[in-house]
Structure 1
Amino acid sequence: MKFAHDVIRKPVITERSMEGIADNKYVFEVAPNAGKIEIKKAVEEIFGVKVAKVNTIKLPGKWKRMGVYRGKRPDIKKAVVTLTADSKKIEIFENMM
């Protein structure tokens, strides 16, 4: 069994993700093996909101060089969580606007 804080890693704070707050859309970085149902349950448990829809995006890590050595950044998975119209707002995003 996974804990909710293991599924939701951190919020994504960018200009594009801040524009979605007006439409009740919030972006989180999540565990790579988490499914949409697990993400929905974790957001509802942590923030006490009602989730209408979850969309996920897998981003491959970039290859980087440090001199002659090559390395790869880790792959990440993002989730765009849409809340219902009657749900309350998530507090950590409120002070960002």
Structure 2
Amino acid sequence: MVSSRLYNIIKSPLVTEKTNTIAQANNVVTVAVASDATKPEIKQAFEKILGVKVKAVNTINYQGKVKRTGQRLGRRQDWKKAYVTLMPGQTVDFVGSQAE
């Protein structure tokens, strides 16, 4: 796979109470990914870019909601979420905070 494609697959980490609970209990990282990304592509992106071993990848497609602005109707974009289960002992730190 072309390495430039790998950098476009992972869009952003999703940090919520639910994702933090899942991450602590099951060693799972939750990220927003490209809508056309496949599970093998997501796994390859994590392993090559972030340098971690991936156990499994589960994905969910979300349909954009219809919203009203004044008299006009608009539609939010469709997007995809991935739950990436890491091998035991592997961690990913998207924040990169360091204790001083």
4+ runs deviating over 2 angstroms = none
State the distance in 1 between where 2:5 and 2:77 align.
22
Mapping of 1:1-97 within 5 angstroms?
1=2, 2-22=4-24, 23-87=26-90, 89-92=91-94
Percent identity of paired positions between Structure 1 and Structure 2: 39
**How many residues are paired up?**
94
- The one-letter code of the counterpart of 1:54 is V
TM-score (norm 1): 0.89
- The one-letter code of the counterpart of 1:91 is D
Unaligned runs of 5+ in 1: none
- The one-letter code of the counterpart of 1:8 is I
Unaligned runs of 5+ in 2: none
CA shift, 1:3, in A, is: 2.3
